[in-house]
Structure 1
């Protein structure tokens, strides 16, 4: 049974069961819609975006995010489709860091070229947790607020942490994602949203023809383990220069160690804007459908990932579709990878009495 709530403006939130996890926990689905007919579906497992419908240039609405048809798919999957990531998005080299003179060992869940790391908060990170949710409507906004408590020591991190993510679907077809975190002890915190987009629709084609522009004159080159190997480097005269729009596939197969290591783009760009203030991040456009995605954020970096590591045989997805490499892209707004081991990078340590905050907006439009 579904429970809708709505405002006179046409914004609504519908709440309904989504299933039960293998260990018996109930999961709920929240369907956010606005007066324009845009729709975003979010589940409490991993605070995950499972569907996002937005119109093309002809007004035809389609789901533009990768995912699974069932809860079991999200439980079994390892691609982080649509998930909220934490405590620490991206990689921490060696699965360890030192904070205030104490070294913390983290569970390893990725090894690249023989080099271990912890990826996206570990094997039981926030993407594997059940979040508590409350629907919200008002002022033309459909929203759901989700909360999670992470105890001291979970996945190796110090401190008890309470985190909140609010998904807001605005009247102008903008999805706003707001994160907040509070802790009782210093701890690294780097929350991000890991949706894979394909603006052409249900991953019908690779995203190599999508045009992308990133508001960044610098990016982080990586070593063989995909860990940043130095300070931000200029993108000028490299395949990483997206200061003007380029097709994803235009230079993705050019020779060079950086593209080879990521098997394409899997790097963090250091955005030109000031961290903590809302600033431009990226624009993606699908010429075939006319759909356009504009991203703005308070974060200093964005991980642009082109789905290179999806299985060669395809990841089983929605409606029998198999997601091949490069059939989706991510724009993960965040602090820099491996920051707990890099004092020269923007600080990621959350402190008691000082709430951690982040905000990103994904605005969807279409060509006239």
Structure 2
């Protein structure tokens, strides 16, 4: 299908347009907003796979980062504080006044990006975060390219460069449910979803969901998802450790199936960890979703990495390029 120019679908509070572009091919239909680089729709052979909003204005304030690129630092930073090269930085504590979450009260998910290129099978968005935005040092130039990478495969390539030493941790925050009805709403519970995560370790957290600093083995715990495990009533908002460094090419980091669905989702990524989140807070967004009606698999750096010397570094310096690849690969399976 020939590439089409982005079309306006709404307006930001400051009057700037919210634009949308679409990719189609190899069984996928994907619509993307310039607001937050959001994956608004993701259909596999015409069937919806992700939570999405009909009203684009919901993405300005209401959605919990549905489908968005989150940053400058995804996940949590304890107390909204970190020290880099002997300088202390204060960030907004936008999670119950205790922690900095997903880049702050706006972060990248509620900023207008620019469609830099829209081709037949890929589109690229860019965003420049100012020096000091949300408290982070350095102006950061970010690029996100979504591309249809083969049958049922959508690949997101994220890059960034900085003008000062800073910290960077980008991910996509799409909510998946393989049992959505054709109209995509209402979303059923994820209890019958089955998850497999090839991780030998995970990061225990305190009562504020901040990593304690321990890297604990999954063996003998409920966090052992190395074999397919039905979610049921289990609660997850934890990072699973895939390695100690970012790798050059994406590797499998998670697989999801569901009883009653003939679709399997495999997530591949280059990141050293993947956050598994059960959508427990969805009902609080006021969008009509019940709690635990979608799940997220968020490839990323270790949460709160700047405050744990034993965690892999999330520091980016001038002259370096941050790079993260995430691929969502959908396949048809035997009906369960």
**Structure 2-normalised TM-score?**
0.94
Give CA-to-partner distance per residue, 1:86-142, whole Å, 9 cap, x none.
10000000001011111001111002xxx601000000200111001134436xxx1
Q: State the 1:37 CA deviation.
A: 3.7
Of 261, 265, 269, the residue aligned with 2:240 is 269
Q: Which residue of 1 aligns with 2:125?
A: 146
Residue 171 of structure 1: how far off its partner (Å): 3.1
Structure 1: which 5+ residue stretches go unaligned?
7-11, 56-60, 253-263, 317-321
Are the aligned partners of 1:13 and 1:135 in contact in 2 as well (CA < 8 Å)?
no
Stretch moving more, 349-358 or 169-178: 169-178
**Displacement of 1:310 after TM fit?**
1.8
Match of 2:104 in 1: 122
Q: Which runs of 5+ in 2 are unaligned?
A: none
Offset of residue 45 of structure 1: 0.3
Q: CA deviation at 1:78?
A: 4.3
Shift of 1:180: 0.3
**Structure 2 residue 80 is matched with structure 1 residue 95:** yes
Instruction: Please say if residues 217 and 272 of structure 1, whose CA atoms lie closer than 8 Å, have aligned partners that are also in contact.
Output: no
Give the count of matched residue pairs.
Answer: 329
Aligned to 1:248: 231
Cα distance in 2 between the residues matched to 1:15 and 1:161: 24
For residue 63 of structure 1, what is the aligned residue in structure 2? Answer: 48
Contact 1:315 1:324 in 2 (8 A): no
Distance, in Å, in 2 between the alignment partners of 1:127 and 1:95 is: 18
Helix, strand or coil at the partner of 2:122: strand
Structure 1 equivalent of residue 150 of structure 2: 171
What residue is the counterpart of 2:19 in the other structure?
28
The 1:13–1:290 alpha-carbon spacing in structure 2 relative to 1, beyond 3 Å, is farther
Match of 1:47 in 2: 37
2: CA distance, partners of 1:152 / 1:357: 20
Q: What's the CA shift for 1:236? A: 1.0
The equivalent of 1:260 in structure 2 is: none
The TM-score, its normalising length taken from structure 1, stands at 0.86
Structure 1 moving runs of 4+ over 4 Å: none
* 2:283 partner SS: coil
Question: What is the SS of the residue equivalent to 1:67?
Answer: coil
